[in-house]
Structure 1
Amino acid sequence: MEVVYVSNDGQDHWIDAKLRSTKTLGEAICASRPGQLIRLIAGTYEIDQPLVFPRSGTPCQPIILRGETGVIINAGKQPDPSVSASNPGRDRFAVFQLIDIEHIRVEHLRIMRAWPSAVYIENSRDLCFKDIDIFEGTYAFYANGVRTEGIKVMECRWVQDTSMWRSIRWDEIHDGKDDEGNVIEVAFRYLNGAFFGSDDIAGDVEITHNDIRDCYNGIRMDVSNDNLSAPIGTYNRDVSIFDNRFSYIRDNPVEPEATALGWWIGRNRFYNCHKLFSQDGVRGGFWYYFANICRFDSRPGPDGDENNGGAVFKLGNGGDIPQPDYVSACFHNSFYLRQKYIKKGTTRGLTNARNAIEHADPTVLPPELMPVDQTFFGDAAKLHLSSASPLPVSFTGDLANHPTYPDVFAPYKGVLSDPRPATGPLFVDGLAGDFDLRETYQVPYDTSLDVLLPDGSIWSTTKDHWPGAITDGTVISGPEYVPVDLDYVRSLPIP
């Protein structure tokens, strides 16, 4: 590759034992072409206008922008309250804008104060972002446009606002409505964003080995009102979220909106997160949650914040709220909980199997960390789980220590099978993060668990797995990722 050297002043610098000419960052990107490695030397790069890649790389000759240790890009922007849970668009600031291009890689940088976005993508494909530290912003990455696909975000770190978990109320970030339905814009609405946000993208997104913390949402992918009637699979298809760390997430680590097809959430670590998995008003299906580990030692919000209960699943409230069209499966996860498993709502097609679900003992925790009478589910009048065909809900083979388990399933006829009730802690020390099962619960299953994949094939567990994510000290790998076979999925009946 041709190496183009970049410095913050564009002057000559000693680089690799030679005095070399350099370009400014803006000059290098403006002149970039396939087969170039744009290498930034250490320094702070102050920018006030977006850096726009004018042309694509090729599959064999991508354009690579790579910083060395000590590279800081400081945008110096203030929060933009006009962007809140919405598409920032190409007219607002982003450090990098990638619009109608392909085959670009950006690596090994630190980006600061990029409001509203560090990276904005529109109708582009085959883009890779690796080892980027991002501090502040409504979005770290935002993608837009139906031609956007083939996005990889790997080994990046994002800290949105370290005061959010304890010092800002949930309803000071999320807009409210008055009695007439008018939006009430709240003070910190600019924090209502995500590490990865999107609108109307096709999909094929890989989010792996990232450290996502102190933010409102982790991954939140939406579909605009104009495209809600598009066939399932047109948008938000084939999303893999593997081996990430989510910490101090004020709302949802994983939140598809409107539609999602073929989402894989596996081997992630969740630490102090409000509601893990959102299925609120989402059509589609073939969602897989496996080998994830969840724990807590803190409860969000300042005094008086009522939006701090949390749950594992966030479901839609029924009625006219869209529901899944296809199956999903949550299996072999380990949960150490202060919150309910499901608070309210309704779903269908969900198989919840062979998880280890430990509710902490509130009497040995600091006061107010969790309710002393925390329930397994919310009010049965507000939670609807049915074993009816064609998309039954089933809870099978879960190990749980809640005092009401398995009796809590009495209102949900036919939903529960093969329960494993337990007394006392399930894990060696959930509070400390030791998720090995205690010896008395290290009991494998007699049969395999079969999981339908989005190409029509079946993946089966081995019978020697214990409940939860860890067997014999090793996190299970789970099924290999399989992309959606649209012909197969669209041949299935929709309820």
Structure 2
Amino acid sequence: MANTATTPCQGKTDTPCYDQTVYPTDTVENGRRLLFATYKGDNRTWNGTVYSTRTIAGCLRAAQPGDIIQLLPGTYWTPVLEVDGPDVVEPFDVEGLCGEPEKPITIRGLGSRTQLVGAAMSIPPEMELPNDDTYAFFRLVDCAWIEFEDFHVRGCWPSFLYLKNSRYITVRNLEAQDSQYFIFGRGYDTHHILIEDTTWNQDPTGSLWTDIEWADDKVGCYYFYNGGILGSDRISGSVVLRGNRILNSFNAFRLKGSKSKEEEDIFSQNLNLEVYNNIFENTRDNPVEPEKCAVNWHIRHNIIKNAHAWFSFDNVAGGYWYIYGNRGYYTSEPGQPRDPNRGGKVFKFKYNNKMPYPSRPNYVFNNSFMLRSFLIKAGATKLFNHAGNIVLFCIPNGDPICNPDATFIAADFLKYGWDDTVQFDFDLTNKPFPERFTTENQEANGEVDPDFHFVDANQGNFMPASNPGTGRHIVFNPAPNNGDKQWTWPGWSVWKCPQNQGEDGPARGAIQPHGGLIQGPPFAFYPPQKVLTASYVEMPRIVVVDRSQKEQITLAFSWPLATKAEDDPILITVYPPEYPGTTMTVTATQNGQFLDIPIPKDNPIGVSPIDACLVLPQGLVGTNNQPLTMWSCPDASISLAPVVIDV
């Protein structure tokens, strides 16, 4: 399909701008063509040169792989079309616009100097999941390799960005407020979505957390808040949310699968999520909410400050959920005293004979929580492993929002009988474990220390004030879980936590003795059991960069690289950040999903594993014959060598 922006015009009038002189329309930045956009396509000065700009729609029509659409200072609205009757506000409809791997099309602003304002400044009385007919500032269909970065957004209801059957979409460094779902995706051909370094404040007034009743948000008169920074309906998956700050929202993200109970359907959608280094603050319902199914979700190293039900896994099938290194605490209580939904919990489960349960194991390990309510109140689950966490409960002492009865589980959890695949062990707490833990052989290696505390949990400092002891020895095996006590993952080899202490596990809790966070198994792509779309295959990408070793950097990939012949070594170019022209070449060692890159102590360019910049060679492919991509690489100092074209 041709690259087209189907929006016919920028505004309902064709009033010409004052200066009609024709100037150059574009320039080049670091080898990429730069197209300039203004709201009306007027003439502007950029770095001392005058350019004839295009409208956003005009730039979208002209864009080619590798181009940057640079929005110049100003406020931007979507088009207003003249029709019979009231004016109609239309999204920027973009169909078939595709960049290429390592040559995305980037739509870039200038931070606060570029303001994108949606049309729906008054909220529609009835809201529904975003679809092909609802408003969005940008509505992408069958698009790929598109980036949105560096601008401010407000007033986009229900969405700023709507994706249908679109993939490799990046949203980076935005400041946003409003929206039910800031970004929403539909279709199995929607996958590989990266949202990073973005702040989204759904309700800048704060009333969503402090004043509005939970039921009114959930199903009532304020239902238009029931969304998140990302929502979806039956997408394949591969979502990365990292480094974001999500404030005053109902949910942080909410991804919905189909209602099918067939295993091959369950394990073919809502796959492969990485959620890390985010801050979730004042979340009235759930920071993490899959619906119907979720498979291979890594939720790590996040901070949760004030939330109602942190991890919502009720009525959710699937499994391989890895929740570790998170820190969570409270400073206030949601809603008003008359609201019955203020209590909160960390894990939300339900009990229903017709509901699905996970059929693959799930692991909650080495988190640090300071709670005012129960860890789990009610419901049921299976294949749930909870180990090595520090879970502390508030002591009333005049604290009006502290539940004096709070502990690990309330009486309604697994009330119809304990499931022997639910295991609690090696945890540390400051209140006695529930009596039921003794009768069900739980927490054989757990510890109760009434005096244990964090340095200052009320300020988010979760460094243990004293020795927390060691948790479970963490080893993940690639084999399926056959009911034994081994922990498993979808990776291709045995993974051992580098913070294990000999035969003992790492220190309990998220923060380890030297201040670093607990490490878990690197993300490994879980392929769908059923081919719902031919486009959902994994290009190997870097998911972890380990610079903690003395003379080596280790890269972990989402898919194993194909083995290279001995006479065709993997040569890595290394250079110091301040002198990119000073380089050395080293030979990497490949080990399936991992690539070890030596950085000798006495090297000629004076770099260490901490500061070395890397250039990977062209031609690396996975065992699935897919080429390496730098999409979503977490380290900006690692790049892929440019393609050399023989003339």
- With structure 1 as the length reference, what TM-score do the two structures score? 0.90
Aligned in 2, Cα 1:194/1:19: closer, same or farther, shift over 3 Å?
A: same
Return the offset for 1:332: 0.4
Residues 1:400 and 2:429 aligned together: yes
- Taking the aligned partners of 1:323 and 1:231, their CA distance within structure 2 comes to 14
Please, which of 153, 160, 168 is the counterpart of residue 111 of structure 1?
A: 153
- Taking the aligned partners of 1:210 and 1:148, their CA distance within structure 2 comes to 21
- Taking the aligned partners of 1:167 and 1:445, their CA distance within structure 2 comes to 40
Aligned in 2, Cα 1:337/1:289: closer, same or farther, shift over 3 Å?
A: same
Please, which of 149, 165, 186 is the counterpart of residue 209 of structure 2?
A: 165
Aligned to 1:266: 300
- Taking the aligned partners of 1:338 and 1:359, their CA distance within structure 2 comes to 6
Please, which of 251, 256, 260 is the counterpart of residue 290 of structure 2?
A: 256
Return the offset for 1:443: 2.3
Equivalent position amino acid for 2:443 in 1: L
Residues 1:442 and 2:478 aligned together: no
Residues 1:148 and 2:182 aligned together: no
Superposed counterparts of 1:406-445, under 5 Å: 407-411=435-439, 413-439=440-466, 441-445=467-471
Superposed counterparts of 1:144-293, under 5 Å: 144-161=186-203, 162-175=206-219, 186-225=220-259, 227=260, 229=262, 231-293=265-327
- The answer to whether the Cα contact below 8 Å between 2:387 and 2:427 also exists between their aligned partners in 1 is yes
Equivalent position amino acid for 2:458 in 1: L
Superposed counterparts of 1:1-150, under 5 Å: 1-47=32-78, 48-54=89-95, 55-69=97-111, 70-77=113-120, 78-84=122-128, 87-150=129-192
- The answer to whether the Cα contact below 8 Å between 2:427 and 2:471 also exists between their aligned partners in 1 is no
| Structure 1 SS opposite 2:58 | helix
Equivalent position amino acid for 1:34 in 2: P
Map Cα deviations across residues 127-156 of structure 1 (whole Å, 9 max, x no partner).
111111221010111010011111111111
- The answer to whether the Cα contact below 8 Å between 1:121 and 1:143 also exists between their aligned partners in 2 is yes
- The answer to whether the Cα contact below 8 Å between 1:126 and 1:149 also exists between their aligned partners in 2 is yes
Map Cα deviations across residues 310-335 of structure 1 (whole Å, 9 max, x no partner).
11100121322111111000000000
- The answer to whether the Cα contact below 8 Å between 2:349 and 2:378 also exists between their aligned partners in 1 is yes
Residues 1:463 and 2:500 aligned together: yes
- The answer to whether the Cα contact below 8 Å between 2:74 and 2:114 also exists between their aligned partners in 1 is yes
Superposed counterparts of 1:311-460, under 5 Å: 311-365=345-399, 367=400, 369-380=401-412, 383=415, 386-388=418-420, 392-402=421-431, 404-405=432-433, 407-411=435-439, 413-439=440-466, 441-445=467-471, 447-450=473-476, 451-455=487-491, 457-460=493-496
- Taking the aligned partners of 1:356 and 1:486, their CA distance within structure 2 comes to 35
- Taking the aligned partners of 2:258 and 2:318, their CA distance within structure 1 comes to 16
Return the offset for 1:438: 1.8
| Structure 2 SS opposite 1:30 | helix
What is the aligned-residue RMSD (CA, Å)? 2.0
Aligned to 1:491: none
Aligned to 2:521: 479
Map Cα deviations across residues 235-277 of structure 1 (whole Å, 9 max, x no partner).
1010111111100000000011101110010000000011111
Which ranges in structure 2 are unaligned for 5 or more consecutive residues? Answer: 1-31, 79-88, 477-486, 531-647
Equivalent position amino acid for 2:496 in 1: S
- The answer to whether the Cα contact below 8 Å between 1:68 and 1:108 also exists between their aligned partners in 2 is yes
Return the offset for 1:487: 6.5
Which sits farther off after the overlay, 343-352 or 22-31? 22-31
- Taking the aligned partners of 2:367 and 2:241, their CA distance within structure 1 comes to 19
Equivalent position amino acid for 1:469 in 2: A
| Structure 2 SS opposite 1:317 | coil
Map Cα deviations across residues 191-230 of structure 1 (whole Å, 9 max, x no partner).
11111100010001111111111111111110244x5545
Aligned in 2, Cα 1:269/1:320: closer, same or farther, shift over 3 Å?
A: same
- The answer to whether the Cα contact below 8 Å between 2:75 and 2:116 also exists between their aligned partners in 1 is yes
Aligned to 1:179: none
- Taking the aligned partners of 1:455 and 1:364, their CA distance within structure 2 comes to 49
- The answer to whether the Cα contact below 8 Å between 2:393 and 2:407 also exists between their aligned partners in 1 is no
- Taking the aligned partners of 1:203 and 1:353, their CA distance within structure 2 comes to 28
Aligned in 2, Cα 1:244/1:384: closer, same or farther, shift over 3 Å?
A: farther
Aligned in 2, Cα 1:273/1:385: closer, same or farther, shift over 3 Å?
A: farther
| Structure 2 SS opposite 1:114 | coil
- The answer to whether the Cα contact below 8 Å between 2:376 and 2:413 also exists between their aligned partners in 1 is no
Aligned in 2, Cα 1:297/1:274: closer, same or farther, shift over 3 Å?
A: same
Aligned in 2, Cα 1:231/1:468: closer, same or farther, shift over 3 Å?
A: same
Map Cα deviations across residues 106-132 of structure 1 (whole Å, 9 max, x no partner).
111111110000111011111111111
Map Cα deviations across residues 41-76 of structure 1 (whole Å, 9 max, x no partner).
121112242112232122243211100131100114
Q: Which has the higher contact order (CA 8 A, sep 6+)?
A: 1
Aligned in 2, Cα 1:445/1:89: closer, same or farther, shift over 3 Å?
A: closer
Alignment length, in residue pairs? 467
Aligned in 2, Cα 1:45/1:90: closer, same or farther, shift over 3 Å?
A: same
Overall identity of the aligned pairs, in %: 29
- The answer to whether the Cα contact below 8 Å between 1:118 and 1:134 also exists between their aligned partners in 2 is no
Which ranges in structure 1 are unaligned for 5 or more consecutive residues? Answer: 176-185, 489-495
Which sits farther off after the overlay, 99-108 or 59-68? 59-68
Aligned in 2, Cα 1:381/1:356: closer, same or farther, shift over 3 Å?
A: closer
- The answer to whether the Cα contact below 8 Å between 2:106 and 2:147 also exists between their aligned partners in 1 is yes
Equivalent position amino acid for 2:200 in 1: W
Rg: which structure is higher?
A: 2
Map Cα deviations across residues 301-356 of structure 1 (whole Å, 9 max, x no partner).
12201111111100121322111111000000000001100000011101100000
Return the offset for 1:408: 4.4
Aligned to 1:180: none
- Taking the aligned partners of 1:112 and 1:329, their CA distance within structure 2 comes to 38
